[in-house]
């Protein structure tokens, strides 16, 4: 965390125009400098400190800023400064910036890129928004199978400084097709005259540029990768994606899933930066839908008003029944949604999940039915009512676990996001059906009309 007194001191030095002293206060790591810049109160202060950063670290500091801060900074810099930054930025970070700024700014920034960098930027921006192609960087080390280990080392030394990573090198044939991968460790430890083809690994894990980012993230996790090569339909190597880029995707996907599970429309900005009215809309949309759906419960209660008049004590335990059903359904839905996201289960496991959740529902239902029966017996001293509540609770919990386990998988089967089958939505469905089950069972056991 950036200390408040450091920010205050930098502000004071800016006011006093003691710029050399500010340079001495800046920490060595670009990320820490970016945090200091972000914490400064005004855009002018941020620009002053950024211009004090040594040119060798300026681009790294810039890439650690948020896209909003990058956009604001670029508006304040002159064309030559912008040109230097944009041409030195890594292609994936530059693409993220271009995705956020207005179209007229993108056009202006494109004109400042060198022909080579402009070609890369246009190629990446032409991929779909959520595809892995949007994250690729062409800055990788390429080798050829006819090279010796010594030639490979010499080549890495000559080009390595400008590459995203040198720890994994990609072996291409004469048509630029990916045929193997070799680690720097193997190259360094091999005999100088050993051919790259002898030490490379031919079974390369790769994805096409149009693959979904979430799919690529799962591949990273499954194979414990730190770099993933991206190829076209002819297996020509287009670029690579590093793990740090996928961490951001994973964080965004997880945040979005949590929001959907909580019945909130995805919020694009951090909580404190989001517009209050936007938050109100994104949180109220699903709540309005749920209120409308939940109103069916009122219809069910109205339909059974005669039963309620005959046995008013039935209403005492509706909140307990509804709460237990909703909580249990939310538990099941959350577990299944997360398992789908991590790849632990798939659509093919539908019947296994149904059987497992139904069995779990029976056991939990029996436990809570006994607890509920004891509570009703103690409070009302009515065995028939106790039996009605306990059976209703057991059936409702069985229904809740089954729905919570099955509906997310059905959504995945329909090519919809399983997270849309949120906890509040499952709870609302179980509320309505649970109340209906409760009154029908109570009428049967208590002999009511």
Q: What is the pLDDT of residue 263?
A: 65
Q: Encoding tokens for residue 118?
A: 């402009």
Q: CB of 293 within 8 A of CB of 312?
A: no
Strands (E), 199-331: 207-208, 227-231, 237-242
For the chain, how far is it from start to end, CA to CA, in angstroms? Answer: 67
Give the C-alpha separation, 171 to 186, whole Å: 13
Q: CB of 179 within 8 A of CB of 145?
A: yes
Q: Which domains does the chain have, with CATH numbers?
A: 4-130 (1.25.60.10), 142-242 (3.10.580.10), 295-446 (1.10.357.20)
The total of other beta-carbon atoms located within 10 Å of residue 74's CB is 19
Question: pTM of this prediction?
Answer: 0.63
Query: How many Cα atoms are found within 13 Å in the side-chain-facing hemisphere of 45?
Result: 19
Q: Token match 């050399």: residue?
A: 20
Statement: residue 355 has pLDDT above 90: yes
Q: CB of 328 within 8 A of CB of 361?
A: yes
Statement: residue 224 has pLDDT above 60: yes
CA–CA distance from 160 to each of 62, 138, 236 (Å)? 22, 13, 21
Give the C-alpha separation, 394 to 390, whole Å: 6
Q: What is the pLDDT of residue 230?
A: 93
Share of the chain above pLDDT 90, in %: 27
Per-residue pLDDT tens over the stretch 258-292: 766 666 667 767 666 777 887 788 778 777 877 88
CA 7 from centroid of its chain's CA atoms? 32
pLDDT band of residue 156 (cuts 50, 70, 90) is very high
**Lowest-confidence region among 143-147, 154-158, 191-195, 240-244:** 240-244
Q: CB of 121 within 8 A of CB of 136?
A: no
On average, the pLDDT of the chain sits at 86
Statement: residue 420 has pLDDT above 80: no
Nearest to 167 by CA among 182, 177, 179: 182
Q: What is the pLDDT of residue 322?
A: 84
Q: Encoding tokens for residue 73?
A: 């900074």
Give the C-alpha separation, 127 to 135, whole Å: 10
Spell out a b/e string for 365-402, using b for 16 or more CB atoms within 10 Å of the CB, else e.
Answer: beebbeebbeebbeeeeeeebbbbbbbbbbbbbbbbbb
Statement: residue 186 has pLDDT above 90: yes
CA–CA distance from 242 to each of 163, 167, 248 (Å)? 12, 11, 11
- Three-state DSSP at 448 gives coil
Q: CB of 406 within 8 A of CB of 350?
A: yes
List helix spans (H) across 16-77.
19-25, 30-39, 43-52, 55-64, 67-76
Statement: residue 191 has pLDDT above 80: yes
Average pLDDT over residues 321-346: 85
> Looking only at Cα atoms, what is the longest distance across the chain?
95
Nearest to 437 by CA among 318, 348, 263, 351: 318
Q: What is the pLDDT of residue 2?
A: 57
Statement: residue 163 has pLDDT above 90: no
Give the C-alpha separation, 239 to 123, whole Å: 11
**Lowest-confidence region among 60-69, 87-96, 183-192, 293-302:** 293-302
Average pLDDT over residues 158-169: 89
How many residues in total does the chain contain?
449
Q: What is the pLDDT of residue 175?
A: 86
Q: What is the pLDDT of residue 220?
A: 85
Asked whether the CA dihedral 265, 271, 273, 278 is positive or negative, the reply is: positive
Nearest to 427 by CA among 298, 325, 313, 292: 325
Q: What is the pLDDT of residue 349?
A: 92
Q: What is the pLDDT of residue 214?
A: 80
Would you give the DSSP letter of residue 268? -
Per-residue pLDDT tens over the stretch 378-393: 888 888 888 988 999 9
Q: CB of 381 within 8 A of CB of 373?
A: no
């Amino acid at each position: 965390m950036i200390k408040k007194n450091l920010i205050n001191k930098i502000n004071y030095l800016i006011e006093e125009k003691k710029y050399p002293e500010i340079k001495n206060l800046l920490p060595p790591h670009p990320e820490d400098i970016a945090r200091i810049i972000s914490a400064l109160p005004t855009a002018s202060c941020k620009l002053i400190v950024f211009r004090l950063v040594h040119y060798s670290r300026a681009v790294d500091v810039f890439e650690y800023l948020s896209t909003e801060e990058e956009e604001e900074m670029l508006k304040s810099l002159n064309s030559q400064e912008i040109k230097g930054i944009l041409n030195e930025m890594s292609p994936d970070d530059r693409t993220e910036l271009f995705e956020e700024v207005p179209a007229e700014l993108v056009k202006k920034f494109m004109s400042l890129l060198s022909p080579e960098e402009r070609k890369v930027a246009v190629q990446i921006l032409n991929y779909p928004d959520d595809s892995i192609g949007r994250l690729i960087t062409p800055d990788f080390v390429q080798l050829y199978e006819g090279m010796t280990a010594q030639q490979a080392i010499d080549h890495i030394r000559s080009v390595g400084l400008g590459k995203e990573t040198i720890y994994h090198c990609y072996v291409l044939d004469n048509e630029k097709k990916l045929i193997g991968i070799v680690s720097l460790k193997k190259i360094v430890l091999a005999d100088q005259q050993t051919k790259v083809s002898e030490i490379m690994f031919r079974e390369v894990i790769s994805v096409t540029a149009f693959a979904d980012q979430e799919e690529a993230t799962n591949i990273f996790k499954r194979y414990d990768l730190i770099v993933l090569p991206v190829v076209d339909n002819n297996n020509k190597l287009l670029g690579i994606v590093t793990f740090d880029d996928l961490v951001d995707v994973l964080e965004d996907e997880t945040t979005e899933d949590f929001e959907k599970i909580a019945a909130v429309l995805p919020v694009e900005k951090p909580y404190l930066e989001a517009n209050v009215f936007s938050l109100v809309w994104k949180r109220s949309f699903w709540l309005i839908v749920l209120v409308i759906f939940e109103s069916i419960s009122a219809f069910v209660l109205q339909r059974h008003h005669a039963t309620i008049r005959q046995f008013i004590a039935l209403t005492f335990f509706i909140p307990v029944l509804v709460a237990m059903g909703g909580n249990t359904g939310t538990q099941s839905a959350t577990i299944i949604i997360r398992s789908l996201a991590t790849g632990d289960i798939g659509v093919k496991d539908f019947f296994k999940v149904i059987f497992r959740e139904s069995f779990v529902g029976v056991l939990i239902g029996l436990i809570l039915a006994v607890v509920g029966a004891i509570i009703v017996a103690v409070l009302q001293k009515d065995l028939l009512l106790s039996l009605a509540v306990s059976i209703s609770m057991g059936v409702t919990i069985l229904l809740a676990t089954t729905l919570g386990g099955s509906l997310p998988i059905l959504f995945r089967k329909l090519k919809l996001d399983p997270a849309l089958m949120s906890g509040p939505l499952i709870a609302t469905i179980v509320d309505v059906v649970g109340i209906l089950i409760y009154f029908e069972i109570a009428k049967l056991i208590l002999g009511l009309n």
